[in-house]
């Protein structure tokens, strides 16, 4: 290859490599490294699209109960494992009809295209987790918002309503009682 052709090709090769690297970084930034679920940014873009297209969409906000106590009692590796299992259970429940994400810490979010069976979600999420020969207690509070019930269909309003419902659910039931509240 002559030097002139090489001089022209090198910047193109560099640009292509840099573009590929940035594309890879953007894709991984939209996934939570621990759970593999979408991050807030990745989930939000898809959730807004679902709200625009599906008037029966339901937004869910989920929070592990007593997560600090789980970490303190069993260690952070056990806490991480509980987060991963919770993410897997939530993603399985969402299936093809919804999108799950992790906001951070022990907070998860989901959107379903139509009114979901929240009792089946509650049963799936509130099962003990087997870790290192022990059964770790896992309890998750869930708040939901039916988008059609909002005066204006917006993701921020749906999340705020689901957040209020989630905290109301945390305060209304004992550890073993249902912790799902619809608004």
Alpha-carbon gap, residue 173 to 182, rounded angstroms: 14
Structure tokens at 20: 């590929």
The 10 Å Cβ neighbour count of residue 88 is: 15
Q: Which residues contact 118 (CB under 8 A, 6 or more apart)?
A: 60, 142, 144, 180, 182
106 tagged catalytic? yes
Which of 32, 63, 65, 106 is catalytic? The answer is 106
Report which DSSP code applies to 37: -
Alpha-carbon gap, residue 52 to 67, rounded angstroms: 34
Contact in structure between 41 and 152 (CB atoms under 8 Å): no
Residues tagged active-site = 106
């Amino acid at each position: 290859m002559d030097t002139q052709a090489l001089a022209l090709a090198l910047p193109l090769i560099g640009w292509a490599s840099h573009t590929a690297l940035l594309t890879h970084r953007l894709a991984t930034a939209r996934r939570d490294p621990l759970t593999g679920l979408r991050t807030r940014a990745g989930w939000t873009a898809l959730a807004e699209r679902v709200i625009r297209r599906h008037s029966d969409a339901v937004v869910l906000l989920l929070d592990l109960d007593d997560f600090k106590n789980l970490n303190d009692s069993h260690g952070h590796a056990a806490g991480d494992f509980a987060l991963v299992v919770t993410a897997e259970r939530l993603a399985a429940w969402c299936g093809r009809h919804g999108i799950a994400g992790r906001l951070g810490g022990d907070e998860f979010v989901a959107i379903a295209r139509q009114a979901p069976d929240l009792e089946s979600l509650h049963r799936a999420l509130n099962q003990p987790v087997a870790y290192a020969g022990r059964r770790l207690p896992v309890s998750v509070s869930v708040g939901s918002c039916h988008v059609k019930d909002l005066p204006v269909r917006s993701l921020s309003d749906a999340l705020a309503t689901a957040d209020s419902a989630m905290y109301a659910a945390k305060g209304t039931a004992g550890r073993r009682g249902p912790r799902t509240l619809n608004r």
